[in-house]
Chains A and B, each alone.
Chain A
Amino acid sequence: MEAVVDRARAWAQTERHFEVDAEQLRACLLAVLPADRVLCAPEELAPYECDGLSVFRAQPLAVVLPQSEDEVVAVLKVCHEMGVPVVPRGAGTGLSGGAMPHPQGVVLSLARLNRILAIDPVARTARVQPGVRNLAISEAVAPYGLYYAPDPSSQIACTIGGNVAENSGGVHCLKYGLTVHNVLAVRGFTASGEPVAFGSVAPDAPGYDLLALTIGSEGMLAVVTEITVRLLPKPVVAKCLLAAFDSVRAAGEAVAAVIAAGIIPAGLEMMDRGATVAVEDFIHAGYPTDAEALLLCEADGTEAEVAEEIARMKAVLEAHGATEIRVSRDEAERLRFWAGRKAAFPAAGRISADYYCMDGTIPRRAIGAMLEAIREMESRYGLRCLNVFHAGDGNLHPLILFDANVPGEWERAEAFGVEILERSVALGGTITGEHGVGVEKINQMCVQFTPEEREAFFQIKAAFDPDGVLNPGKAIPTLHRCAEYGKMRVSGGALPFPELPRF
């Protein structure tokens, strides 16, 4: 792991360097926060060295745990005055290193701002602090027959503040949208500690849509301290259909056919055989392990509506070569169908020392072609890859299996991942559907955007944060970085000096 830590350090060194007097910074933070809310000792800082992407690590100068908006403002003002980078953090479940600390900076944990401030069942809104867990919102509003729709797989742990930073999705977003479609308003503070509010509980909002810019901005534009979410009425019933196919291409075509038939499933997921087998060994969901691909297709609504939609989906899937179709007979069976899909990541962790989860999005029509390309890459890189997809919206989560203790494996896994992402762009898609760019995909931003587009992103960042102290160095690569990356890239995914660290 030492090499990895060095890599993260080197990442920060290629970015702007901040001159910070650590002792003075800590003293200033302790002057505005109680001592138990400022962590400085190395053993206290260790749990904050990385987020869910643990291969990228760095130790911050301090971690602060404010418990009120006032304390957040106090921290921001200290850091602003001293020119210290601030990295906001929720639960740390992010998968792109967006919350990786800055070595000359402060990690601003919003985890203790974890209160649900108001629930308005009539207006169908909830006003919550950023540290509230995603699932806790749905649990709190369940007595009113309501729920919060975006459900990232980490929803038991991830915070709504983190969801806002990443514009998180989940398995139901084809029908119910992403975070940007389900957050009505945010309140927060600029890097200098000035209060701001974007969006509105009223329809639309006057002026430019700064709420849309803020959502998915990876904590680089403002620190959000209060979020008003839209709640939806819980569907009366949901049913899930499990369909098996004898090729990934046939499954991909069936997905397109479902959409072409005018059906918008509540969830539409795909797993390849490798993923199915890994999951079945782990969870015993009853998946057919001899199928090359599985589709999970969910309908929700009223009883009659669901019966109508399931029948239509079944007909389409049968016509497109499904070798076996099961419809969940009750809620327990539906949850069992989903349990396997939701356990895909831990199942990968069980059969491999490490795994690297990718997040490209491609047009649905290219799913079959992409899976075949990944299969070819598996043999070229000498690594296995399990494939799970949010097939309904073309969002891929290939899980590349590797062992960090075997020299060279992580480098190969990373190159494998890069090739998948760059292929996603070439197929008309994007390098990240829902995990964010963070530090992980910063080089691939050079492939997806022109220098002028990246310049515009930097200008937007400066419009909110002129001093550039909020989560610096993430998400948007500098011209210099892209120039270096351009020199290093060669066709075919093979790198000229695979043994050298690359930044």
Chain B
Amino acid sequence: MTDETQQRIISEWQKRLHTARERRQPVRIRGGGSKTHLPWCRIPDEAVVIDTRAWRGVERYEPTELVVTVRGGTPLDEVEALLAERNQWLPFAPPRFRAGTTIGGVVASGLSGPTRLGHGTVRDAVLGVRLLDGRRRVLRFGGEVMKNVAGYDVSRLLVGSWGTLGVLLSVSLKVSPVPPASATRRFAMTAVEASRQLNRWAGQPLPLSAALWADGTLWVQLHGARAAVEEAGVQIGGERVAEDEADALWQHVRDHREPLWAVPDGLVLWRLSVPPTAPITEVGARFWFEGTGGIRWVVAPPDWDGFAYAAQLGGWAWRWQGAASRWMSARPETVAAIEARVRDVFDPDRLFGDGPFGEG
């Protein structure tokens, strides 16, 4: 993309923001549309849409710097293919619920896949951003270096902000070398045993990468140096899962695919985020968990109150689907007031809507 084209697109978007503000129309940012099934991502009919898909391309990739800078509308597949050429990856396994996921959507949603257990989250990987905010300012925060404490960490504020603060023009992400070896082991265990065992393992120097418990089975992925993976496999035991089957499983978990993520009509899917060692009870019609027990999925009847349940366990909840009066656990008043003022910094006119944060 030439500088001129970039300037033209940014001016066009600035104009659109200006007009929307004058006409009091909502604005929504749309990438690949792979998350439009999430209720808070629905685009109202009257909205002015900023479609980022034309705003694409890798601005810089420096394999020896472990960093890639990418325009927001770039397809995730394209970025991952580029990194794979140099045997590198985005270690947080960003989900692609449908085809078309863009890097902007990856960062704006802040969602990470199952390997977050061993390799961290998208928040951990973000180094810098360029943003077009609701005041039509083009702002750069952070950068391309690993260590940078100049100014407040606005880059990470934008992770998981769901497009409510502005358009992610570009993001710089820390990339990692793909560890040389991986292996998946399977165990027959109850949820309680599985979580207890996982937390025990996580306190030992083992190359744990991902874990899933569902339907009486615990799946553990090891990922690291060859020797470490071999030793750890012997140490934790279980049954070795064939590579193809393991790859399919972890992709399934990463992308929330059916049958595991299937929700029968009339029931509601909840994502509970709780302290990993909080007592495990298999609540709801179906229950499974990721990591050592911190992310718990519950398929429950419509009247079940996941917010209250998660709060009781010291965590928070996300109502993952359906019409609701609220999708995400509420924050205490003082914190909510700061959040509102932070929103004022970037979008005082509330052009970009509430994302999952407000009343539904």
Contacts and interface: CB of A to CB of B under 8 A. Distances in A.
Interface of A: 120-124, 144-146, 166-167, 169, 173-174, 177-178, 180-181, 190, 194-198, 200-210, 212-213, 215-217, 221, 233-236, 256-257, 259-260, 262-264, 301-302, 304-305, 307-309, 361-365, 390, 393-395, 428-437, 441, 445, 448-450, 452-453, 456-457, 459-464, 475-476
Contacts of A204: 110, 121, 123, 160, 273
A262 B343 CA distance: 40
B149 A432 contact: yes
Contacts of B274: 202
B124 interface: yes
Interface stretch (B8-16, B253-261, B331-339): B331-339
A180 B151 contact: no
A254 to B, nearest CB: 11
B277 A120 contact: yes
Interface in B338-360: 338-339, 341-346, 357
Contacts of A302: 205, 227-228, 231
A437 B153 CA distance: 13
B331 A122 contact: no
Contacts of A213: 152-154, 156-157, 342
A207 B335 contact: yes
Given A190-B338, A207-B335, A476-B151, 16 more contacts: A197-B332, A206-B316, A209-B123, A215-B153, A216-B149, A233-B205, A302-B205, A304-B227, A305-B231, A364-B64, A365-B64, A428-B143, A429-B148, A432-B150, A437-B151, A461-B152
B157 A305 contact: no
Nearest to A96: B149
Given A194-B334, A260-B63, A429-B143, A167 B341 contact: no
Contacts of B24: none
Interface stretch (B43-51, B133-141, B244-252): B133-141
Nearest to A168: B149
A301 B178 contact: no
Contacts of B204: 145, 233
A200 B273 contact: yes
Nearest to B159: A209
A363 B128 CA distance: 14
Interface stretch (B29-37, B71-79, B195-203, B280-288): B195-203
30 contacts: A122-B277, A124-B203, A166-B149, A169-B147, A173-B146, A174-B146, A197-B332, A197-B335, A208-B160, A213-B154, A216-B152, A257-B64, A259-B64, A264-B176, A301-B205, A301-B228, A302-B231, A304-B227, A361-B145, A430-B147, A430-B149, A436-B149, A445-B151, A448-B150, A450-B139, A452-B139, A456-B139, A456-B154, A460-B342, A463-B338
Contacts of B357: 206-208
B291 interface: yes
B294 A203 contact: yes
B152 A217 contact: yes
Contact of B346 (A124, A234, A307, A456): A456
A209 B341 contact: no
A190 to B, nearest CB: 7
Interface residues of B, number: 84
Contacts of B154: 213, 456, 460
Nearest to A217: B152
Nearest to B124: A181
A456 B139 CA distance: 9
A198 B335 CA distance: 8
A363 B335 contact: no
Contacts of B332: 196-197
A155 to B, nearest CB: 16
A370 to B, nearest CB: 12
A210 B339 contact: yes
A429 B314 CA distance: 40
Contacts of B88: 262
A456 B345 contact: yes
A120 B157 CA distance: 28
Contact of A200 (B176, B315, B328): B315
B25 interface: no
Contact of B152 (A198, A262, A433, A457): A457
Given A361-B145, A453-B141, A206 B331 contact: yes
A459 B345 contact: yes
A226 to B, nearest CB: 15
Given A201-B314, A202-B274, A202-B314, A431 B150 contact: yes
B39 interface: no
A399 B255 CA distance: 50
A453 B143 CA distance: 13
A124 B148 CA distance: 27
A137 to B, nearest CB: 16
B291 A203 contact: yes
Contacts of A212: 123, 153, 156-157, 159
A417 to B, nearest CB: 15
B150 A445 contact: yes
Nearest to A166: B149
B305 interface: no
Interface string B61-73: 0111110000000
Given A235-B205, A262-B87, A305-B225, A463 B62 contact: no
Contacts of B148: 361, 429-430, 432-433
Nearest to A436: B149
A80 to B, nearest CB: 14
A437 B295 contact: no
Given A210-B335, A304-B227, A434 B147 contact: yes
B238 interface: no
B314 A394 contact: no
A395 B145 CA distance: 9
A210 B342 contact: yes
Interface string B159-200: 111000000000000001110100000000000000000011
B227 A307 contact: yes
B276 interface: yes
Contacts of A361: 145-148
Contacts of A166: 149
Nearest to B161: A208
Contact of B151 (A195, A307, A449): A449
